[in-house]
Copies of this chain bind each other. A is one copy, B any other.
Amino acid sequence: MIGIFDSGVGGMTVARAIEQLYPDLPYIYFGDLAHSPYGSKSREMLIEYSCRNTDFLLAHGAKIIVIACNSASSTASHCLTKNYPLPIVDVITPAVNKAARLSRNGRIGLIGTRATVNSGVYASRLQDIRPDCEIHSQACPLLVPLVEEGWLDRRETKMIVRKYLRPLRDKQIDTLILGCTHYPLLSKIIIPRIGKRVHIIDSSVEAALHLKSLLDADSSLYALLRAPAVENRYFVSDLSSPVQSLAASIFGRPVHLEKVDV
């Protein structure tokens, strides 16, 4: 079984991408809504929550952990990798690798929450693999609340997206990393505003593709994840009605969310 966690339901875009590649692999999802949003929390807090979430997924039989949250990936993935004896997939490394491969002019844009941008982790990982690249970051703290309200196509959302993207346009980036699992839900309004020639890197899709590369390389891991063949389950640490409808709109079907105390 695959274990996936996020601060809320945004990480379901990662679950959806995994499900599209591997409809036969069961997963368990945990959304830490009691502590959501992670984007405005401190580093120490995010490490604590990430360990707690990982323990919960392990207790339910997860054999691999996917951190489906950029804020948690940027602050806690190193710590989880060091302390847990199983593979940890984050949403950052795969996106950085893809951006480094695709960019021609070496000017790469990043949009994310304040926690993700302030961590500087995208910039430092990119420096490790392509030191000629410049990363231009923009924190977009209003986009998560807008998505969570379901304002995916509203005029106000478009104006706010345009405002956030303007400095990146001015820097003439040729590649843009959507550094938050909520943002793929806004890609239709992001693409025309950043320009169609700019490559868009969806960190949710890249994380799923990275999982695929691990499975392609290790067939025993695939067998381990496949058993036991159970239903996917979706747990949350708090539950309110807008969350139900956002989850349904991500998967295009009703999703049964189970509330748990962690």
Residues of A within 8 A of B (CB): 33-36, 40-42, 45, 114-115, 141-142, 145-146, 148-149, 151, 155-156, 159-160, 163, 238-240, 242
Contact = CB atoms under 8 A, between A and B. Distances in A.
A242 B148 CA distance: 21
Contact of A242 (B114, B155, B238): B114
11 contacts: A33-B41, A40-B240, A41-B240, A114-B240, A115-B240, A141-B148, A141-B242, A142-B145, A142-B146, A155-B159, A156-B159
Which 4 residue pairs of A and B lie closest in terms of their CB atoms, listed nearest first?
Answer: A145-B145, A42-B238, A156-B159, A45-B238
A155 B155 CA distance: 12
A262 to B, nearest CB: 12
Give the oligomeric copy count.
2
A34 B49 CA distance: 11
Given A149-B142, A156-B156, A159-B155, A41 B45 contact: no
Contact of A156 (B41, B149, B160): B160
Contacts of A33: 40-41
Contact of A35 (B34, B114, B239): B34
Given A160-B156, A242-B114, A40 B45 contact: no
Contacts of A238: 41-42, 45
Contacts of A239: 42
Contacts of A36: 40
A87 to B, nearest CB: 29
Contacts of A155: 159
Contacts of A156: 156, 159-160, 163
Nearest to A39: B240
A43 to B, nearest CB: 10
A128 to B, nearest CB: 27
A126 to B, nearest CB: 24
Contacts of A42: 238-240
A232 B262 CA distance: 35
A251 to B, nearest CB: 21
Nearest to A35: B35
A95 to B, nearest CB: 24
A142 B41 CA distance: 18
Contacts of A148: 40, 141
A153 to B, nearest CB: 14
